Every structure is written in structure tokens, then in C-alpha cells.
Amino acid sequence: MRLGYGTSVVIDEVSIELPAGQITAIVGPNGCGKSTLLRGLARLMDPLSGHVHLDGADLARLSARTIATRLGLLPQQPTAPDGITVADLVARGRYPYQGFIRQWTEDDEQAVLRAMDAAAVTDLSGRLVDELSGGQRQRGWVAMALAQHTDILLLDEPTTFLDITYQIELLELFTDLNRVGHTLVAVLHDLNHAARFGSR
């Protein structure tokens, strides 16, 4: 697979297989294409050549809703709409499951509450996202990704802005998710974290 922007190739002829049920840690120097790789895996950018397959299916042929119920992405620097609360942000993780027929249910509400509890943002649920510290915002975005409840999570430097205590708690949370069958792919800037929490 080749990925890039315009005529600039960032990922050149890379072939990888991400095993189900493991935590794959991606490490490397700044600017080497780690975030670009995750964007390609999440179909946020089209490959210049090659394909991405999800359980044997070409990702390009799957609907956005289907992808969003199977694969979640926590980008490196996400932005939230102005005036949105933490609870509303986390609830957006349930959007792939909504539709004309299926409206908001108690299951959705419980998924949001569990995600906020897991990411330690329950006490921030009524706060505006743009009033939070960097670490608090990051935990809010993690909660949204958890509420999406996908089999696969792509995480682009998820510990950014977090104090060391929250970094370890978050990585342990990801380990717990992995133990119950979730597949995680994480870009990590700390080699010690990658060695400790990554399966490969």
C-alpha cells in the first residue's frame, strides 16, 4: 500500500497484517508516517495504490456505517464543535448505531455511562469540552471511542497531554479491552509503554 498527499508519498509499498486480538504498537520518529498509516487503515484517506482489507473485505467497498461499527479511530488532535459537553461528545460514539428506525435506546445510554466511567470523565459530563484541560479533553475523546464499542480501535498517541498516572491507567484500560477480545493498534511515542503494553 502507498499513502500520501498529492504527489508526496509518505507510506511507500508497505504491507502489514494486524492480527486480531492483539495490541499492535507502532513506534517511530516524528514525520515517518505513523498517523498517515492509521488514517489509511481507517479509510480517512484513499491509498495511492493497494488496498486495505477488513476480515477479507476491501474497506473501500464497505459503507461508512459498517466501518464505524467495526473500527474506531482516536486521532492525534481531534476537534469538537463549539459548545458541546463531554456527555454529548461521548454520545457521538453511538451515532453509527442510530438511524431512521433505530433511535436512542437505554443500551446507548448505558454504553455512554460505561465509557465515561472507564475513561474517568463521569464527573466532567456536564462540562464544555472547550473549557477542559488538554488531559481532560483527551480522556473525553477516549470515552467517545469506547462508546463506539468496536472490535478494532486505532489509537494515535492516545496518552498525549495526560499525566503519567492517567497514561498508565489508560494503557491498562486498553489492556483490559484486549483481554476481552478487542484488537488495538496504537501509535505510542514512549518505547517503554510500547514494550510493556504492546503484544507486538
What pLDDT was estimated at residue 189?
A: 87
pLDDT digits (tens, 9 = 90+) for 19-68: 999 999 999 888 889 999 999 999 999 999 999 999 889 999 999 999 99
What pLDDT was estimated at residue 200?
A: 78
Fold of 3-197: Rossmann fold (3.40.50)
170-193 mean pLDDT: 91
> What percent of the chain has a predicted confidence (pLDDT) above 90?
62
Q: Please, which pLDDT band fits residue 134 given cuts at 50, 70 and 90? A: confident
Evaluate if residue 127 carries a pLDDT over 90: yes
Strand partners, 184: 23, 153
154-178 mean pLDDT: 89
Domain boundaries, the chain: 3-197
Exposed/middle/buried for residue 69 (C-beta within 10 Å: 0-12, 13-18, 19+)? middle
Q: What are phi and psi of 5, to 5 degrees?
A: -125, 115
What pLDDT was estimated at residue 57?
A: 92
Return the closest-CA partner of residue 153 out of 84, 86, 70. 70
d(CA 150, CA 93): 10
What pLDDT was estimated at residue 161?
A: 82
What pLDDT was estimated at residue 71?
A: 94
Contact, 54 vs 70, CB < 8 A? yes
Evaluate if residue 87 carries a pLDDT over 90: yes
pTM confidence score: 0.87
Please give the distance of CA 139 from its chain centroid, rounded to a whole number.
12
Q: Average pLDDT, whole number, for the chain? A: 91
Dig out the grid coordinates for 103 from the structure.
433511535
pLDDT digits (tens, 9 = 90+) for 95-109: 998 877 778 889 999
79-89 mean pLDDT: 94
